[in-house]
């Protein structure tokens, strides 16, 4: 219920106006979004690299209908790719088709994305296309396959295990030979298209992860769920899959302890580092995933008040994060 409410708020323009004006919301966003500029992003990537983590950089933005904003987003990605190359960062980028012009027109998207793809190819950097809500799945996979068929190979997609269709899509992507990130899915999806029970979403995640590891091309296993991670570790151990055939992926600011445990155990781990001014829907989706984060937020409110010293834990969430 709370999850649905938070996802609803992530899409509400009115709520956005009110909530983004509150210092506490901005403060909370800092946990998940390290900054608004490319310099701040690069600082966070360097910190991650120093801790043994690869990174994927995401300039926040989605559902963009204005051509100038889409071009500006492409400029930012161009700049990020440049910094990754010149500063020898262990990083790639993640972006959304709807940020680059998918909702404007196919021709515009192709043109706007073209120069970013060219730059990434020249520098041998990989671009991941995030997956959005279910109405975008067909357009995204078709768009993606269009670029793949034109010969672009430094690109990959994301599939969400809560959707009924995901095993079929995973088989389609395995056949194509492309890299897939598998995650559970972050949007509110109706029972017509998505599993509603946690155990079903988890089973689908493990099924897809096993298929992608056994038959796919260097999949990204994107989860903070220890049961999913244990299931994958058991599978790769039984099947003697080398640890350089896949990577775990987690979000910046989430389960840093687990990220380090996996690195120490010899697995590859990549953190997704978002940045930029459009942090509001991203933050709301992160709160929806773990409503306990609301306590952290409430803690910050109390901390900012004159009675702040009464709040136990001083705004930390109790897991050292």
> Which active-site residues does the annotation give?
130, 181
| H-helix or E-strand spanning residue 238 | helix 226-238
Place of tokens 């058991």: 234
Return the number of the residue (119 or 285) whose C-beta is nearest ligand FDA: 285
Q: How far apart are CA 176 and CA 187, in angstroms?
A: 26
Please state, in angstroms and rounded to a whole number, the distance separating the CA atoms of residues 120 and 285: 29
Per the CB < 8 A criterion, the answer to whether 27 and 300 are in contact is yes
Pick one of 12, 290, 295, 308: the residue that binds ligand FDA (CB under 6 A). 290
Structure tokens at 290: 């773990």
CB-based contacts of 60, cutoff 8 Å, min separation 6: 33, 274, 275, 276, 277, 278, 279, 282
CB atoms near residue 319 (< 10 Å) = 11
Closer to ligand FDA at the Cβ: 245 or 290?
290
Does the footprint of ligand FDA cover residue 173 (CB under 6 A)? no
- Tell me how far, at minimum, the Cβ of 147 lies from ligand FDA, in Å: 17
130 binds ligand FDA (CB under 6 A): yes
User: Judged by CB under 6 A, does residue 131 bind ligand FDA?
Assistant: yes
Interaction between residue 249 and ligand FDA (CB under 6 A)? yes
Residue 62 touching ligand FDA (CB under 6 A) = no
3-state SS assignment for residue 40? helix
Stretch that binds ligand FDA, among 47-55, 69-77, 85-93, 180-188 (CB under 6 A): 180-188
Residues whose CB is less than 8 angstroms from the CB of residue 48 and which lie 6 or more positions away in sequence, other chains included = 54, 55, 252, 271, 273
Q: Considering the complex, state which of residue 119 and residue 252 has its C-beta at the smaller distance from ligand FDA.
A: 252
Q: Which string of x and - marks every residue 194-223 that binds ligand FDA (by CB under 6 A)? A: ----------------------------xx
The nearer residue to ligand FDA, 122 or 318, going by C-beta atoms, is 318
Q: What is the DSSP letter of 169?
A: H
* CA gap 160, 132 in Å, rounded: 9
Site size with ligand FDA, rule: CB under 6 A: 23
Stretch that binds ligand FDA, among 82-90, 211-219, 289-297, 299-307 (CB under 6 A): 289-297
Q: Does 251 bind ligand FDA (CB under 6 A)?
A: yes
CB 222 to ligand FDA: min, Å: 4
Q: Using the minimum distance from each CB to ligand FDA, give the nearer residue, 9 or 183.
A: 183
When asked if residue 33 is in the footprint of ligand FDA (CB under 6 A), the reply is no
Q: Which of 116, 250, 283, 297 binds ligand FDA (CB under 6 A)?
A: 250
Q: Is 231 in the site for ligand FDA (CB under 6 A)?
A: no
Question: Please, which of residues 140-169 interact with ligand FDA by CB under 6 A?
Answer: 158, 160
Query: How would you class 121 by CB atoms within 10 Å of its CB: exposed for 0-12, middle for 13-18, buried for 19 or more?
Result: middle
Nearer to ligand FDA, 109 or 159 (CB): 159
Place of tokens 């900012």: 304
First to last CA, the chain: 25
Count the alpha carbons within 13 Å of 131 in the hemisphere toward its beta carbon. 26
Q: Is the dihedral angle over the CA atoms 218, 47, 224, 238 positive or is it negative?
A: positive
Which residue number, 102 or 249, has a Cβ lying nearer to ligand FDA? 249
Residue ranges binding ligand FDA (CB under 6 A): 130-131, 158, 160, 183-187, 222-225, 249-251, 254-255, 272, 286, 289-290, 293
């Amino acid at each position: 219920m709370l999850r649905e409410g938070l996802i609803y708020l992530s899409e509400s323009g009115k709520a956005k106006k009110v909530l983004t004006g509150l210092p506490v919301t901005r403060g909370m966003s800092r946990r998940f979004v390290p900054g608004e500029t490319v310099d701040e992003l690069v600082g966070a990537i360097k910190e991650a690299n120093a801790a043994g983590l690869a990174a994927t950089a995401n300039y926040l933005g989605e559902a963009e209908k204005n051509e100038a904003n889409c071009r500006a987003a492409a400029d930012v990605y161009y700049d990020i790719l440049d910094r990754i190359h010149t500063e020898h960062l262990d990083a790639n980028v993640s972006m959304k088709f709807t940020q680059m012009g998918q909702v404007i027109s196919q021709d515009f998207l192709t043109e706007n994305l073209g120069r970013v793809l060219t730059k990434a190819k020249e520098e041998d950097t990989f671009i991941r296309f995030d997956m959005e809500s279910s109405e975008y799945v067909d357009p995204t996979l078709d768009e993606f396959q269009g670029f793949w068929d034109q010969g672009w190979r430094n690109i990959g997609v994301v599939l969400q295990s809560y959707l009924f269709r995901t095993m079929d899509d995973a088989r389609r992507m395995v056949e194509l030979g492309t890299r897939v990130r598998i995650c559970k899915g972050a949007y509110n999806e109706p029972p017509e298209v998505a599993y509603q029970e946690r155990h079903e979403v988890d089973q689908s995640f493990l099924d897809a992860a096993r298929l992608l590891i056994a038959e796919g091309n260097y999949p990204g296993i994107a989860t903070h769920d220890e049961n999913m991670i244990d299931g994958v570790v058991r599978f790769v151990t039984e099947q003697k899959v080398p640890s350089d055939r896949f990577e775990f992926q987690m979000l910046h600011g989430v389960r840093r302890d687990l990220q380090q445990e996996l690195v120490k155990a010899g697995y590859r781990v990549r953190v997704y580092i978002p940045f930029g001014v459009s942090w509001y829907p991203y933050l709301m989706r992160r709160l929806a995933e773990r409503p306990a984060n609301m306590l952290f937020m409430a803690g910050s409110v109390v901390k900012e008040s004159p009675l702040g010293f009464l709040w136990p834990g001083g705004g930390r969430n109790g897991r050292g994060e």
